[in-house]
Chain A
Amino acid sequence: MQPTRATNMLIRHVSVFDALTDREVDAFTVFVKERRLAVGEVLFAEGDFGESLFVLLQGQIAVYVRGPGGEQVHLARLVPGDIIGEGACIDPAPRSAATVAHSPAVLLELNRQSLERMAVEQPKVASVLLGAIIQDLTHRLRDVDRRVEAALGSKAPPPVPSRPPAPRTGSFDRLASRFKVR
Chain B
Amino acid sequence: MITIELLRQTGGLGAFSDAELEILLGASLPRTFAAGDVLCRQGRAGTSCFVIVSGIVEVLKEDGAGGHRLLTRLSAGTIAGQLALVDGAPRNATLAAHTNVVALELTRDVFHRLVGASSPLAFRFQMQIAISTGRQLREADRRLAKVLEERGTHTSVTPEVAAQIAAVEAATLRRLQDAVADIDVPFEPFDIVEITPPERIAGPASRPA
Interface residues of A (CB under 8 A from B): 1, 5, 9, 12, 40-42, 44-49, 62, 64-69, 71-75, 86-87, 90-91, 93, 96-98, 100, 119, 123-124, 126-127, 130-131, 133-135, 137-142, 144-145, 147-149, 151-152, 155-160
Contact = CB atoms under 8 A, between A and B. Distances in A.
Contact of A119 (B71, B120, B161): B120
A87 B168 CA distance: 19
Contacts of A96: 138, 141
Interface residues on B, range: 35 or more
Interface in B147-205: 147-151, 153-157, 160-162, 164-165, 167-169, 172
Contacts of B92: 141-142, 145
Given A49-B172, A134-B115, A145-B93, A74 B157 contact: yes
- Name the prevailing secondary structure of the B interface residues: helix
Nearest to B115: A131
Contacts, number: 176
B29 interface: no
Given A71-B154, A96-B138, A127-B126, A135 B164 contact: no
Contacts of A73: 144-145, 148-149, 154-157
A59 to B, nearest CB: 15
B145 A9 contact: no
B115 A87 contact: no
A132 B56 CA distance: 29
**Considering the complex of A and B, which 5 residue pairs feature the smallest CB-CB distances, nearest first?**
A67-B149, A72-B157, A45-B168, A123-B118, A130-B126
B6 interface: no
Interface stretch (B18-26, B31-39, B83-91, B97-105): B83-91
Contacts of A1: 89
B131 interface: yes
